[in-house]
């Protein structure tokens, strides 16, 4: 949190630079006080901690302590069943004050990479501006790049409309905080225990989802979405998805669309639409779709603030730990039913994200070498091609000039 605003995603480098950082917890009569030693200077102005960063630190204490206490205590959170996990996500969000009843649907979730070009960042900011002019609120993964852009743009749009109630919700998890510190625009920060609960929080809160270009993490998010919408129980629940990019990045979604068609089939492409350029049009599409969401929630007596009806398979709720054994045991088999294959692909990308930017994953790679992914030849070719496109365009890490893949792809018949 104290590293907010510093655009680096190398966890090892950050920890090395602040190896002498210390936190002392001082008990007081009405709570606790934190004493910070050797903290990043950028977190302070004239010796005083920046107010926004102070609020983010409070969010860490609130969410991590509250969640762990509930998990440890008898009768607390039940994280052993699908309904129990959904209830856990809801209660964490409610405790953070993010779930607000009796407000009409207007929350647009924006996903995209932290390692993006200036043109891509500016485009995401323009989209946010158009959304803000129309009174729409923003939720992102809270980092930099295509997560920061929409929030910053929406803030300007809200200011022009004299909208003082604009919301800029950042949703993260402990494994990614070090490499994707919350950007300064985040006004409501929530920390979920792991990536699966973080993704569920997004889709339960979302009224519309916009995806900007990104890397392996963005591909993971897209596959998670498709895995939900391909469930029969979710076919009649509106959750609008828009893939959008500027003219200079149009190839990104052409490549991703090709990968989806060649791995999950033509049917998987009907759940999203692709828009190139034209930020006003993107915002207008969002607004029209929000009216559809409002009508559906009203007719089904569903909460405006939390989408309880959305069916999430337990396989997509259970945490996937990116060890070498788990990565090697993924079933990357094109003969699997699409609804099962998409879950395996999502886990593969999740592991690659961990190997790129998460402390645990980086540690695993340092100890045991690259993850070994095995799959049938046709699927392996598609996966290798898409990941290769991400590497070529510098989407894996901010400093991609010396990027070394944290994975090796093996075709089964070649073993």
pLDDT in the model for residue 415: 43
| H or E segment and range at residue 211 | strand 208-211
Tokens, residue 280: 């006003």
**What pLDDT is stored for residue 255 in this prediction?**
93
pLDDT of residue 136: 96
DSSP SS3 for 415: coil
Tell me the per-residue pLDDT of 171-216, one tens digit each, with 9 for 90 and over: 999 888 877 788 889 999 999 999 999 999 999 999 999 999 998 8
Q: For 245-259, what is the HEC assignment?
A: ECHHHHHHHHHHHHH
pLDDT of the residue at 5: 67
What's this model's pTM, rounded to 2 decimal places?
A: 0.91
Cα separation values, 57 from 15, 52, 71, 198, 288, Å: 18, 9, 21, 18, 37
**What's the Rg (C-alpha) of the chain?**
21
Q: Burial, 347: exposed, middle or buried (Cβ in 10 Å; 0-12, 13-18, 19+)?
A: buried
pLDDT of residue 9: 65
pLDDT tier, 70 (very low <50, low <70, confident <90, very high otherwise): confident
What domains does the chain contain, in order, with CATH numbers? 11-78 (3.30.1850.10), 88-299 (3.40.50.450), 318-414 (no CATH)
Query: Residue 153's pLDDT band (boundaries 50, 70, 90)?
Result: very high
The model's pLDDT over 116-152, given as tens digits with 9 standing for 90+, comes to: 889 999 999 999 999 999 999 999 998 888 899 999 9
Those residues with Cβ within 8 angstroms of residue 403's Cβ, 6 or more apart along the chain or in another chain: 391, 394, 396, 397
Residue 27, helix vs strand vs coil: strand
- All residues at 6 or more sequence positions from 274 whose CB lies less than 8 Å from its CB, including other chains: 242, 243, 244, 253, 257
Nearest to 199 by CA among 181, 218, 214: 218
In this structure, how many other beta carbons lie within 10 angstroms of the beta carbon of residue 23? 11
**pLDDT tens per residue across span 355-401:** 888 888 888 899 999 999 999 898 999 999 999 988 888 887 766 66
3-class secondary-structure state, position 102: coil
């Amino acid at each position: 949190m104290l590293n907010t605003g510093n655009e680096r995603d190398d966890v090892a480098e950050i920890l090395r630079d602040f190896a002498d950082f210390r936190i002392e917890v001082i008990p007081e009569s009405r709570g606790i006080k934190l004493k910070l030693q050797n903290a990043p200077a950028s977190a302070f102005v004239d010796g005083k901690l920046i107010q926004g960063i102070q609020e983010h630190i409070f969010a860490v204490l609130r969410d991590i302590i509250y969640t762990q206490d509930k998990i440890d205590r008898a009768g607390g959170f039940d994280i052993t069943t699908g309904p129990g996990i959904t209830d856990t996500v809801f209660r964490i969000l409610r405790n953070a004050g993010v779930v607000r009843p009796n407000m009409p649907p207007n929350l647009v979730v924006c996903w995209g990479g932290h390692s993006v070009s200036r043109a891509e960042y500016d485009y995401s900011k323009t989209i946010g501006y158009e959304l803000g002019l129309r009174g729409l609120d923003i939720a992102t993964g809270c980092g930099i790049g295509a997560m920061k852009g929409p929030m910053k743009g929406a803030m300007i749009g809200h200011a022009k409309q004299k909208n003082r109630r604009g919301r800029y919700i950042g949703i993260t998890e402990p494994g990614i905080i070090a490499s994707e510190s919350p950007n300064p625009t985040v006004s409501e920060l929530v920390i979920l225990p792991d990536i699966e609960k973080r993704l569920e929080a997004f889709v339960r809160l979302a009224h519309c989802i916009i995806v900007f270009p990104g890397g392996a993490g963005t591909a993971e998010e897209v596959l998670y979405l498709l895995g939900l919408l391909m469930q029969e129980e979710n076919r009649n629940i509106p959750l609008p998805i828009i893939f959008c990019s500027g003219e200079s990045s149009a190839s990104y979604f052409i490549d991703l669309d090709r990968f989806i068609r060649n791995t999950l089939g033509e049917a998987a492409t009907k759940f999203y639409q692709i828009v190139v350029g034209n930020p006003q049009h993107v915002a207008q599409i969002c607004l029209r779709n929000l009216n559809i969401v409002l009508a559906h929630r009203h007719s089904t007596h569903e909460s405006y603030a939390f989408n309880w009806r959305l069916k999430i398979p337990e396989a997509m709720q259970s945490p996937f730990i990116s060890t070498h054994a788990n990565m090697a045991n993924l079933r990357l088999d094109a003969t699997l039913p699409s609804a099962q294959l998409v879950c395996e692909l999502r886990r593969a990308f999740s592991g690659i994200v961990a190997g790129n930017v998460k402390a645990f994953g980086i540690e695993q790679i340092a100890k045991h070498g690259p993850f070994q992914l095995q799959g049938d030849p046709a699927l392996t070719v598609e996966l290798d091609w898409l990941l290769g496109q991400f590497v070529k365009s510098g989407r894996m890490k901010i400093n991609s000039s010396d990027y070394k893949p944290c994975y090796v792809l093996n075709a089964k018949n070649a073993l």
